[in-house]
Structure 1
Amino acid sequence: MTTVAELLQPVESDLEDLLSNLRVLIGAGHPILQAAAEHLFSAGGKRLRPGIVLLLSRALSPNGELGPRHRRLAEITEMIHTASLVHDDVVDEADTRRGVATVHSRFSHRVAVLAGDFLFAQSSWHLANLDNLEVVKLLSRVIMDLAEGEIRQGLYRFDTGQSLDSYLDKSYRKTASLMANSAKAAGVLSDLPTTELKSLYEFGRLLGLAFQVVDDILDFTADDAQLGKPAASDLASGTLTAPVIYAMEEFPALSGLIEREFNEAGDLEQALALVHQSKGIARSRELAEKFSHEARACLDFLAPSEAKSALLDLPGFVLSRLY
């Protein structure tokens, strides 16, 4: 199976520069915040989001070269993503991410919240210094979406009345908004016309939704090591995803187990069995395939290039995580 590193090979050196620059950009005066930030950027990860920005920026460039504003946009994208992960881990009370201790488990909840806030503040500062109001609006919208998505997830816990549309709206805010708006921002910095900007936005939106649906399927089909967190942890915490929403349509009894928050012995195991017996996972896979197929079509306007080829392979890579 193709790896993320292989897909991002055309911008491998750009991503190395990005990590070096991030360490300079987040150079805070406070040693604890500095240590927390260093821990974050040393924890590995796919760097998929800044990689998409860099690939698009190269694909849009007449000579395939990157300008400083496109590089900075990729750095801001990674800052925003990392800040959101820190806050998510605090809310979810997760001890590890990607097999590495989370910031709050290594330092404290207070330091983690401050480190996340600091990264959001840093990203906003560098965003303003791009001197492009449209890009500022796009990435500011992302920060609002991330916060609202996390709030909605909390409000919808164990809520069996939520629809697939509400699930997708929350998924857009938590995952796809950053991909969609940073992709569009790369186009804005390249002075693209409105129709092509819309195509870039749609590419990021659809890819992000496919990515989230696949993640939610893996919560039921992968093991703890593959996920980097306990399997079925979303359902156990009351977060209802596509496989569960589909499964509730087939097995109304599943709703009753969820509504009583798995308070009785064997409730969670019974709920998991019902999800696996249902067509929920298969239907979710079809949904992810639909999003991935539509995402590829959004890049038809790009001229042939190594970067475009890598971008076209991304939707297939997202789906390949299921097999």
Structure 2
Amino acid sequence: MSYTLMRHLRRTALVTQQVRLESTMTNITHEDLVFRPPLAQWGKVIRQAEKIVGYPTSFMNLRWLLSDEFANLAMHLRKVVDTNHPIIKTAKTVLYNEHNNLQPWGLVILLLSKAVNPEYSALQQDTVSENQRVLAELTEMIRTGHYIHRGLLNVAIEDRDKNVDTTMFANKIAILIGDYLLVTANGMLARLKNQDLSYLISTALRDISEGEFFGERDSQNMPLPGKPTRNQVDEFLINSDTLPLDVTGTLGSPIREWTLRTMYGGGSLFGRGCQGAVLLAGQTLEEQEKAYMLGCHLCLAWQAASEIQKLTSENKETYSLVSAPVLFALNENPNLYDTIAKGKQNISNIDLEELKFDILKTDAIERTKFLYLENANKASSYADMFGDSEVIDTIKRLIKSL
């Protein structure tokens, strides 16, 4: 049943995305195709990857949607469907594979597992592959749980009255759904009984938590960019040690700030998921480090591509004020920070369309494209270190398909 539901949801998403794509294919350039690939190509790569791993992972594993616990929460969620609460948009994103869900983390982890697993006996092979599948699922669940928790609305105590009862109720449901996913993921991790793997994933959870307290934020806990600074060391060195991420001199330095925020937001988790797959395969620390770097740079590449799409889309899509194009634009034109200052209480006070117009007048998009290509090339280089095979070739096609 989960397989059928997953296929149906993906088919629905593909049709929706194809309609959008056809409306924008006029006036598209070859360069744009790097970031807006024909959807048939993306779907073909995904189907090939699923065939290789022998498991229908299509963007998200939806088995948890079919559990009794989640069904009970979903019944309550129906009560707020007609509201504008972010949890509704989040649910649609998870189900219908929009921008934030077009990054099949679990699928990449399973592909990498195929590439690194040595020759075992049949029983050993089944055990290792099953553990790697569980790791891929729990990584996706942690990512989704964190994503749902970020969709809460903060309502000041003095503003809480009967008019916000629905909002408060939706907040409670969002917390419960996010907690359910995170607790379930941690239970799955514990059942693997691998202390080293638990340690790796716990460092990623630490990074996710620390990211929620990094930099300035508005009243809704939405992140605000750092004020541009003159003295910049605009390079962020990524390494596989398990120490907290280095925040020194990041705010106001576009590449450093963006890289750190992306690592906090998911890069660290994806990297540890890839590293964990290689660990479960019994590979050396050196091989594990390569896998971590592959996951981190792939996440960075996908994030940059997603941000370019949002800023260059003809639709009035919302975009993050800490996305790479915004940070690059602030760096080139520091006067734009006066506009950002208007949103320090609430970013809804900022005219995003006007800011977008000012951003597109700078070289921010070109610099973000370079950022994408740089990280995509690094991810491909690390993938090459795991040999030449159909599996690795598929990973490389996923790297360059967004």
Interval containing the TM-score (normalised by the shorter chain)? 0.7 to 0.9
Which residue pairs with 1:218 in the alignment? 309
1:210·1:292 contact (CA, 8 Å) conserved in 2? yes
Which residue pairs with 1:253 in the alignment? 335
Which residue pairs with 1:163 in the alignment? 253
2: CA distance, partners of 1:47 / 1:294: 17
Whichever of the two has the greater Rg, that structure is 2
Sort the Cα spacing of 1:91 and 1:69 in 2 relative to 1 into closer, same or farther, 3 A: farther
Deviations 1:200-259 (A, max 9, x none): 1000000111111222222211244xxxxx52442xxxx232212221232232122222
Sort the Cα spacing of 1:153 and 1:266 in 2 relative to 1 into closer, same or farther, 3 A: closer
1: CA distance, partners of 2:263 / 2:286: 21
1: CA distance, partners of 2:351 / 2:94: 39
Which of 50, 63, 75 aligns to 1:11? It is 50
Deviations 1:95-126 (A, max 9, x none): xxxxxxxxx98x72101111101110111111
| RMSD value, Cα | 3.3
Sort the Cα spacing of 1:20 and 1:152 in 2 relative to 1 into closer, same or farther, 3 A: closer
2: CA distance, partners of 1:92 / 1:283: 34
1:176·1:204 contact (CA, 8 Å) conserved in 2? yes
Matches within 5 A, 1:1-80: 1=38, 3-8=41-46, 9-12=48-51, 13-15=54-56, 19=61, 21-23=63-65, 26-28=67-69, 31-32=72-73, 43-45=95-97, 46=102, 48-62=104-118, 67-80=129-142
Matches within 5 A, 1:248-287: 248-261=330-343, 268-287=352-371
Which residue pairs with 1:231 in the alignment? 317
Sort the Cα spacing of 1:194 and 1:211 in 2 relative to 1 into closer, same or farther, 3 A: same
Sort the Cα spacing of 1:189 and 1:242 in 2 relative to 1 into closer, same or farther, 3 A: same
Count the aligned residue pairs: 295
Which of 131, 143, 166 aligns to 2:193? It is 131
2:311·2:319 contact (CA, 8 Å) conserved in 1? no
2: CA distance, partners of 1:89 / 1:266: 19
2: CA distance, partners of 1:152 / 1:308: 35
1:73·1:127 contact (CA, 8 Å) conserved in 2? yes
The residue type equivalent to 1:257 in the other structure is: T
The residue type equivalent to 2:142 in the other structure is: I
Deviations 1:14-42 (A, max 9, x none): 12598465456x54388226876xx7897
* Identity score, percent: 22
Gaps of 5+ in 2: 1-37, 78-90, 156-165, 218-222, 229-251
The residue type equivalent to 1:51 in the other structure is: L
1: CA distance, partners of 2:68 / 2:278: 29
1: CA distance, partners of 2:154 / 2:284: 41
More helix by share: 1
2: CA distance, partners of 1:140 / 1:293: 28
* SS at structure 2 position matched to 1:118: helix
* SS at structure 1 position matched to 2:387: coil
Deviating more after overlay: 158-167 vs 271-280: 158-167
The alignment's TM-score, normalised by the length of structure 1, stands at 0.79
Sort the Cα spacing of 1:40 and 1:124 in 2 relative to 1 into closer, same or farther, 3 A: farther
